[in-house]
């Protein structure tokens, strides 16, 4: 079968002398960077850089305008009703910690409980775990069904009048299936429970509408969307920002300070103390433009087709086993174990062939323990992959098994 990426040439790393014949199958960890994004960052840094939101001179005012324009575009991308609902952070991890310490910490008591799912990345577990430990609250874990998605009916049984927060991923990083987050968020809203969605993995599928989902918070990282690291986003539903306190304080977030007290700004800027990571924000905006120009419809149609091919070819290998039963939807990633061969050995052997996959617990140790395993191999797709990558993976896995299986 021939599935060829029309976008591969947009990514300069495939022409890098240092990585000839790169087969990159780790986009769930980070997406590679299109030239257009790198160029936008280079041009900004060379020709337009200044501090934003501070200077009154033209160069600085222009940078402020760029950052606020990026905020507007991200609001549009997420289906948010206002740019004032968009906070720039350093990534999903910071976004989730921000919710924890700016908001949830002001509400939590020893009676409270917080619900997460069994599949969460440590970024969407540790902030809640620590708060619960600190305040004597309880952390409840919603199980997954056989298809690896959150079991709504089981989750509902964990909810009671002391449930403060439900923090779940739209799509988890090891399993990759989409959770019924709309159903969960709507139920939570009807019961006055706050919801936080970790969108780190889902964001590269586009088509997000936070209004429609009815979530309170939505977090994602720019580098999972073909942008740079160092820039992320937290959507905070209108009305919540006013109730939140900055968890990190410093320059740029106040309207009045004396030696003894401060009065903070009201909008998202109150969480963006210090100097903005403007070059990364510019990169994220360029990534959005790049993806919009291709169109989400074309991106998803391509990746679904490629993913279908990947699932089919991997299913032909009787010596590898997906860590959860496959459902009918085709996620862009596949996590598995190989009979009698350690996951790290699989990844190291593939690396010799120039094939980059992830092996380990993928920052989801409790999930692996729940599944009764300590590690898995994960392959994940991006815009630059095509059928030759999958064919090379299949050959690499077959060779690895032949060489390393212990009889």
Question: How far is it, in rounded angstroms, from Cα 326 to Cα 250?
Answer: 48
* Interface with ligand PMP, residue 91, by CB under 6 A: yes
Residue 205 Cβ, how far from ligand PMP at the closest point, in Å? 13
Structure tokens at 295: 């169109």
Residue 229 Cβ, how far from ligand PMP at the closest point, in Å? 7
* Interface with ligand PMP, residue 198, by CB under 6 A: yes
- Please report, to the nearest 10 degrees, the dihedral formed by the alpha carbons of residues 12, 15, 20, 23 taken in order: 40
Of 164 and 200, CB closest to ligand PMP:
200
DSSP E strands: which ranges in 206-350? 217-221, 232-236, 254-257, 262-264, 320-322, 333-338
Q: Which residues does 66 contact at the CB level (< 8 Å), separation at least 6?
A: 44, 48, 52, 278, 281, 282, 285
Q: Could you say which of 200, 281, 284, 355 contacts ligand PMP (CB under 6 A)?
A: 200
Q: Could you say which of 5, 64, 93, 385 contacts ligand PMP (CB under 6 A)?
A: 93
Of 37 and 63, CB closest to ligand PMP:
37
Question: Interacting stretch for ligand PMP, rule CB under 6 A, among 118-126, 187-195, 297-305, 343-351?
Answer: 118-126
Structure tokens at 169: 């991923």
* Interface with ligand PMP, residue 201, by CB under 6 A: yes
Is residue 13 within 8 Å of 19, Cβ to Cβ?
yes
Distances (CA, A) of 57 to 49, 53, 67, 179: 12, 11, 16, 48
Question: Interacting stretch for ligand PMP, rule CB under 6 A, among 77-85, 90-98, 153-161, 339-347?
Answer: 90-98
User: With DSSP H G I counted as helix, E B as strand and the rest as coil, what are the percentages for the chain, rounded to 5?
Assistant: 45, 15, 40
Residue 194 φ then ψ, to 5°? -75, 145
Residue 49 Cβ, how far from ligand PMP at the closest point, in Å? 24
* Interface with ligand PMP, residue 92, by CB under 6 A: yes
Residue 26 Cβ, how far from ligand PMP at the closest point, in Å? 10
Question: Interacting stretch for ligand PMP, rule CB under 6 A, among 47-55, 99-107, 193-201, 248-256?
Answer: 193-201
Of 121 and 368, CB closest to ligand PMP:
121
Residue 351 Cβ, how far from ligand PMP at the closest point, in Å? 19
Q: Could you say which of 169, 179, 195, 380 contacts ligand PMP (CB under 6 A)?
A: 169
Question: Interacting stretch for ligand PMP, rule CB under 6 A, among 117-125, 141-149, 260-268, 282-290?
Answer: 117-125
CA atoms within 13 A on the CB side of 184: 31
Distances (CA, A) of 341 to 206, 270, 336, 399, 407: 36, 50, 11, 12, 11
Q: Could you say which of 33, 113, 124, 204 contacts ligand PMP (CB under 6 A)?
A: 124
- Please report, to the nearest 10 degrees, the dihedral formed by the alpha carbons of residues 155, 163, 88, 367 taken in order: -40
Q: Provide the β-strand partners of residue 141.
A: 116
- List strands edge to edge, sheet with 320-322: 320-322, 333-338, 376-380, 358-360
Binding mask 317-356 for ligand PMP (x = CB under 6 A): ----------------------------------------
């976008």: which residue's tokens?
A: 7
Annotated catalytic sites, by residue?
363
Residue 346 Cβ, how far from ligand PMP at the closest point, in Å? 20
The residues that touch ligand PMP, with contacts defined as CB under 6 A, are: 29, 91-93, 121, 123-124, 169, 172-173, 198, 200-201, 221
């Amino acid at each position: 079968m021939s599935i060829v990426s029309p976008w591969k040439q947009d990514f300069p790393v495939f022409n890098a002398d240092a990585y000839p014949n790169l087969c990159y199958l780790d986009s769930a960890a980070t997406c590679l960077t299109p030239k257009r994004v790198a160029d936008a960052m280079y041009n900004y840094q060379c020709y337009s850089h200044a501090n934003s939101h501070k200077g009154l001179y033209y160069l600085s005012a222009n940078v402020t305008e760029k950052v606020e324009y990026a905020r507007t575009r991200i609001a549009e991308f997420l289906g948010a009703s206002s740019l004032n609902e968009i906070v720039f952070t350093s990534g999903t991890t910071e976004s989730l910690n921000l919710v924890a310490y700016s908001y949830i910490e002001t509400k939590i008591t020893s009676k409270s409980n917080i619900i997460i799912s069994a599949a969460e990345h440590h970024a969407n577990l540790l902030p809640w775990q620590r708060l619960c430990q600190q305040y004597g609250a309880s952390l409840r874990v919603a199980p997954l069904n056989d298809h690896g998605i959150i079991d709504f009916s089981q989750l509902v049984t964990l909810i009671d009048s002391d449930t403060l927060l439900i923090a779940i991923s739209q799509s988890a990083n090891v399993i990759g299936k989409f959770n019924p987050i709309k159903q969960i968020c709507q139920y939570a809203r009807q019961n006055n429970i706050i919801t936080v969605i970790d969108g780190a993995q889902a964001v590269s599928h586009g088509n997000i509408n936070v209004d429609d989902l009815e979530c309170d918070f939505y977090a994602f990282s720019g580098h999972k969307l073909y942008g740079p690291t160092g820039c992320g986003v937290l959507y905070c539903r209108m009305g919540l920002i006013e109730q939140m306190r900055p968890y990190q304080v410093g320059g740029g977030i106040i309207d009045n300070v004396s030696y003894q007290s401060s009065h903070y700004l009201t909008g998202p800027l109150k969480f963006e103390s210090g100097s903005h990571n403007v070059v990364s924000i510019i990169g994220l905006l360029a990534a959005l433009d790049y993806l919009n120009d291709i169109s989400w419809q074309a991106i998803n149609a391509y990746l679904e087709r490629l993913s279908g091919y990947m699932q089919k070819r991997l299913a032909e290998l009787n010596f590898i086993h997906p860590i959860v039963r496959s459902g009918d939807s085709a996620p862009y990633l596949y996590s598995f174990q190989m009979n009698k061969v350690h996951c790290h050995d699989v990844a190291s052997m593939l690396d010799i062939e120039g094939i980059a996959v992830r092996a380990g617990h993928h920052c989801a140790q409790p999930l692996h323990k729940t599944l009764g395993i300590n590690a898995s191999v994960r392959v994940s797709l991006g815009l630059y992959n095509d059928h030759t990558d999958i064919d090379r993976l299949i050959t690499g896995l077959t060779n690895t098994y032949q060489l390393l299986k212990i009889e």
